[in-house]
Structure 1
């Protein structure tokens, strides 16, 4: 019975470490997906001259989860009559929990909403392009950080479980 308890403790701590490592590894992927979604949005706004609700719908269909839900909520808010800036801000607030992004990532992504629907296509293009460059820099740093941190949390989870077993025995 004691052996079974030890195995469960080690496995549960190890799973916690693996879960944290997964979330850390997801961050660079989500940043890349965000950049790709913004590139598509930029194309729809600048070259397609697509209205924002329709542009968000197109981006929603071509994005992966969780960005799909993000742009779906944006589309719904615009259809209800909200301004693009407030819809972007409120959607960010509602959707944050579904992402593995940090607060500083959201601060950069928030910059997109400041220019949406308020200026002409070229200004929106400049704003989205600037955010994409910033996201690229953040993504590169996040990849380096994720490689180190994910490995650490994986080991720490299992080693924490082993330490817990040693303390209890």
Structure 2
């Protein structure tokens, strides 16, 4: 009886590991899409609303789901504080510290860091060009993420179940 309970627990744990890994593949394109919406909103705030950057980042943070909202909120808070840091420093600090909480990869982070280096340091038109460039890069990454999701999501679930089943068979 104890062996049967142990086998069931191993099977459950292996299955859950597979499902968690599959969820990460599903979460990456969703987060990239949210990031694209955030950049579109930032483009609107800068281009048409002429909103100051800290205020625009705070507004964007309010509509984003976590963990992305934390990246923009931390940047906005850093810019609004009296520390006197540059936009680039605040942006890099927030994105480097909070990136591990996302399901995204270094390619997306690098695109966002390049964007952060140009925000607030040039004219409105130049900032809009850099925003569009970052959006194009993220759209390409989203397409790759969707391909990875289609390719690996089901595989991860199946491997989790099958690996757990193999362990159970070896235990018996």
Quickly name the TM-score band, shorter chain normalised. over 0.9
Deviation >2 Å, runs of 4+: none
TM-score by length of 1: 0.97
Give the Cα separation in 2 of the matches to 1:64 and 1:12.
Answer: 28
Give the Cα separation in 2 of the matches to 1:32 and 1:111.
Answer: 18
Give the Cα separation in 2 of the matches to 1:112 and 1:121.
Answer: 13
Residue 123 of structure 2 corresponds to residue 125 of structure 1: no
CA RMSD of aligned residues (A): 0.9
Match of 1:146 in 2: 149
Which aligned pairs between 1:2-41 and structure 2 lie closer than 5 A? 2-41=3-42
Q: How many residues in Structure 1 have an aligned counterpart in Structure 2?
A: 169
Q: Deviations over 1:87-116 (max 9, x none)?
A: 111101111121000111211121210111
Which aligned pairs between 1:1-169 and structure 2 lie closer than 5 A? 1-80=2-81, 81-169=84-172
Tell me the secondary structure at the aligned position of residue 47 of structure 1: helix
Q: Which runs of 5+ in 1 are unaligned?
A: none
Deviates more, 1:92-101 or 1:27-36: 92-101
Tell me the secondary structure at the aligned position of residue 120 of structure 2: coil
Tell me the secondary structure at the aligned position of residue 76 of structure 1: helix
TM-score by length of 2: 0.95
Give the Cα separation in 1 of the matches to 2:160 and 2:10.
Answer: 10
